[in-house]
A and B are shown apart, each in its own frame.
Chain A
Amino acid sequence: MNDFKGQTLSWTIKQGVIELSLHREPCNEIGSLSLAELEQFVAALEQVEKHCHALILHSEMKPGFCAGADLRELYSRSQALKKSEAVKGVREFLERIHRVFNRIDTSPLTTIAAVHGVTFGGGFELALVCDLIVADKMARFCFPELRLGLIPGFGGIPRLKRDLGNAVVRDLLLTGRSFNATKAQQAGLVSQVVGEGEALRAARATAGQLSKFDRRTATTAKQFIKPVPYEELQREIDLFCELFTQPAVEAGLRKFVESTDAQPYLP
Chain B
Amino acid sequence: MPTAETTLDEILTLAAAHFKVPREKLSPDDDFFKTLGIDSLQTLDLLTKLENHFHVELPDYELQGVSDFRTLAGKIQARL
Contacts and interface: CB of A to CB of B under 8 A. Distances in A.
Contacts of A265: 40-41, 44
A263 interface: yes
Interface string B40-67: 1101110111011000010111011001
B52 A266 contact: no
Interface residues of A, number: 27
Nearest to A144: B60
A177 B39 contact: no
B60 A266 contact: yes
Nearest to B41: A63
Contacts, number: 61
Contacts of B49: 138
A175 B61 contact: yes
Interface of A: 26-27, 63-64, 67, 117-118, 137-140, 142, 175-178, 180-183, 261-267
Contacts of A138: 45, 48-49, 52
B40 A177 contact: no
Contact of A118 (B44, B52, B61, B64): B44
B19 interface: no
A137 B43 contact: no
Given A138-B49, A262-B33, A267 B43 contact: no
Q: Name the residue in A63, A175, A181, A263 with the highest tally of chain B Cβ atoms < 10 Å from its Cβ.
A: A263
A138 B41 CA distance: 12
Contacts of B60: 142, 176-178, 266-267
Contacts of A118: 41, 44
